[in-house]
Structure 1
């Protein structure tokens, strides 16, 4: 019974931002469970590299170039996925950026807008792009990748934290509106993970000293530690879970 609940064999999963960081781990995890995986990001060559790795392990995957800020590009991604695999069962809105560190008083409006466009509007556009198909077939799973910074402020990444906080509200709103179509929408909020961690931090030692001080488990997370919750929310095991955010952050946001 347990294997049946978590079975993703033959399901089609789109992972945005799947060419780097935790997105690679997610794409490979789904492929290992027998899912067809779409690896989507702005860097098509990197997507192809991940697809090659998946196929070498016996999985099925498709690389798609995606401009997360473009409605046309998001719809093209959905259409190409349907043409190749015939269905879209799960969308993981993982693509996100945190291109700079700055206190809010010196954050440039253009930088703030860019982060919102990618981290929030991009997730909305991709969700909307797959919604017609999911609504028509009467089921679907959307998983938004937020951040523990949505609950606990971290110096220098205020714009990023705001975008990830809004993403949690988007999760609740879509869950409320699309529940009648048997579409579940949930979020995962990672803490600082070992994949692509704080690339723009200048004083790494001081930054992580503060993070680890606030983390009960006393360490950063491993990207693989996201997989359990990811597979739960993507499978029938979570058929009555929607509008929720699971914090995977060593307890930093809630202790």
Structure 2
């Protein structure tokens, strides 16, 4: 059974791996033997995470990435292939929620910015690795969605819409690329102790309402995503594709 989850020798790209839940994902993948490419605009933060995994015997590298810039995305893929020879897994973790506003007050420019990162950026990254994965007839893509894609909360509408679209992208790519033996799935965390929850005052009535309708009765911890990401990145999930795995204490599905 241990071999099913072994990531030794596999090269995994984690976008947005220098902050938020990305840090936990990087640690989990490195703990199971992967060469983890930590990609983000903030190289300093990425280097700090790299030092953390290397201190435990993990392996990886840092590549600067602007996920909204197509050229930057393709440069990432080219550099990783030149240095490591393959890309086994792409984790589209980079995402933003820069503001909270009811939909009638959402600025179109702000909405476009969120779409550029949360949806178009994920598609650009998937397209960039697809040529290599299709040629190899092997690969895994994991999108980081959110339970907000199905659970409404006032002020998070723009963010929620982009994540709902990301769910649809996940299923579309899974359907189209299944013939190339490429698995495409997503994890959809609920409100965790980092990430989008950083933008929300935990004392807000609206936030408390989310906790109240969560069967487990609390927010999640970023470390509670580790098992799911290793599962989806490893051979243990080879016959799983097109799935959205909600890790939200039951808030969106109970």
TM-score under structure 1 length normalisation: 0.97
Gaps of 5+ in 2: none
What SS is found at the alignment partner of 1:153? coil
Structure 1 equivalent of residue 91 of structure 2: 92
* Pairs aligned (count): 254
Structure 1 equivalent of residue 54 of structure 2: 55
Offset of residue 208 of structure 1: 2.8
Structure 2 equivalent of residue 37 of structure 1: 36
1:20-52 deviation line (CA, Å, top 9, x unaligned): 010000001101111000000111111111111
What SS is found at the alignment partner of 2:121? helix
Q: Is the 8 A contact 2:201 2:207 kept in 1?
A: no
Tell me how far apart the structure 2 counterparts of residues 72 and 114 of structure 1 sit (CA, whole Å): 17
Gaps of 5+ in 1: none
Tell me how far apart the structure 2 counterparts of residues 203 and 212 of structure 1 sit (CA, whole Å): 10
Structure 2 equivalent of residue 20 of structure 1: 19
| Counterparts in 2 of 1:203 and 1:228: CA distance versus 1, 3 Å | closer
1:37-96 deviation line (CA, Å, top 9, x unaligned): 000011111111111111111111111110101111111111111111111000000000
Offset of residue 204 of structure 1: 3.5
The list of structure 1 runs, each at least 4 consecutive aligned residues, that deviate by more than 6 angstroms after superposition, is none
Tell me how far apart the structure 2 counterparts of residues 180 and 86 of structure 1 sit (CA, whole Å): 23
Tell me how far apart the structure 2 counterparts of residues 13 and 203 of structure 1 sit (CA, whole Å): 33
Structure 2 equivalent of residue 107 of structure 1: 106
Write the mapping of 1:35-184 to structure 2, written as runs, cut at 5 A: 35-184=34-183
Offset of residue 199 of structure 1: 2.2
Offset of residue 206 of structure 1: 2.2
Offset of residue 197 of structure 1: 4.7
Q: Is the 8 A contact 1:201 1:207 kept in 2?
A: no
Tell me how far apart the structure 2 counterparts of residues 209 and 245 of structure 1 sit (CA, whole Å): 25
Is 1:211 the equivalent of 2:218?
no
Q: Is the 8 A contact 1:148 1:253 kept in 2?
A: yes
Structure 1 equivalent of residue 233 of structure 2: 234
| Counterparts in 2 of 1:76 and 1:204: CA distance versus 1, 3 Å | farther
